[in-house]
Structure 1
Amino acid sequence: MRNSEFSRHRRLRTSQTMRRFVRETDLKVDDLVYPLFIVEGESIKNEVRSMPGVFQISLDYLDEEIEELVSLGIPSILLFGVPKEKDEVGSGAYDPNGIVQQAIRHIKNKTDQLLIIADTCLCEYTSHGHCGVIEHQDVDNDKSLPLHVKTAVTQVEAGADIIAPSNMMDGFVSEIRKGLDEAGFENIPIMSYAVKYASAFYGPFRDAADSTPQFGDRKTYQMDPANRLEALREASSDIEEGTDFLIVKPALSYMDIIRDVKNQHPVPVVAYNVSGEYSMVKAASLNGWIDEKAIVLEKFISMKRAGADIIITYFAKDVAKWLQDN
Structure 2
Amino acid sequence: MPGFPEVRPRRLRSSEAVRRLVAETSLEPRQLILPMFVREGAREPIAIKSMPGVVQHTRDTARKAIAEAAQLGLGGVMLFGVPTSKDPEGSGALDPNGILNVAIRDAVSEAGDALLVMSDLCLDEFTSHGHCGVLDSAGRVDNDATLSLYAEMGVAQATAGAHVVGPSGMMDGQVGVIRKALDAAGFIDTVILAYAVKYASAFFGPFREAVDSSLTGDRKTYQQDNANARDAIREVDLDIAEGADIVMVKPALPYLDIVRQIRDHVTVPVAAYNISGEYAMVEAAAANGWIDRDKAILETLTSIRRAGADTILTYWATEVAQKLRYR
TM-score using structure 2 length: 0.96
| Aligned 8 A contact 2:127 2:214 in 1 | no
Q: Aligned-pair distance for 1:63?
A: 2.8
Provide the residue aligned with 1:230 in structure 2: 231
Provide the residue aligned with 2:151 in structure 1: 149
Q: Aligned-pair distance for 1:106?
A: 1.4
1:1-326 aligned within 5 A: 7-112=7-112, 113-135=114-136, 136-214=138-216, 216-326=217-327
Distance 1:4 1:120 in 2: 57
Q: Aligned-pair distance for 1:186?
A: 1.1
Distance 1:61 1:192 in 2: 28
| Aligned 8 A contact 2:25 2:302 in 1 | yes
Q: Secondary structure at the match of 1:325?
A: coil
- Counterpart amino acid of residue 132 in structure 1: G
Q: Deviations over 1:108-129 (max 9, x none)?
A: 2222222101100000000000
Q: Secondary structure at the match of 1:138?
A: coil
Distance 1:26 1:186 in 2: 32
Q: Aligned-pair distance for 1:22?
A: 1.2
Q: Deviations over 1:58-90 (max 9, x none)?
A: 212223212322332223000000001100100
Distance 1:171 1:3 in 2: 56
| Aligned 8 A contact 1:192 1:243 in 2 | yes
Distance 1:6 1:220 in 2: 58
Consecutive unaligned residues in structure 1, runs of 5 or more: none
Distance 2:241 2:73 in 1: 33
Q: Aligned-pair distance for 1:5?
A: 7.5
Q: Deviations over 1:276-326 (max 9, x none)?
A: 000010111111111111111111111111100000000112211221221
Q: Secondary structure at the match of 1:88?
A: coil
| Aligned 8 A contact 1:131 1:167 in 2 | yes
Across the aligned residues of Structure 1 and Structure 2, the Cα RMSD in angstroms comes to 1.4
- Counterpart amino acid of residue 177 in structure 1: R
Distance 1:222 1:6 in 2: 53
- Counterpart amino acid of residue 246 in structure 2: F
Distance 1:3 1:33 in 2: 45
- Counterpart amino acid of residue 145 in structure 2: K
Distance 1:6 1:128 in 2: 66
Distance 2:258 2:70 in 1: 32
Q: Secondary structure at the match of 2:81?
A: strand
Q: Aligned-pair distance for 1:180?
A: 0.5
Q: Secondary structure at the match of 2:290?
A: coil
Q: Deviations over 1:110-151 (max 9, x none)?
A: 222221011000000000000111011210100100001111
| Aligned 8 A contact 1:38 1:56 in 2 | yes
Distance 1:184 1:158 in 2: 13
Distance 1:78 1:237 in 2: 23
| Aligned 8 A contact 1:42 1:60 in 2 | no
Aligned identity (percent) is 51
Distance 1:32 1:322 in 2: 13
Distance 2:153 2:180 in 1: 13
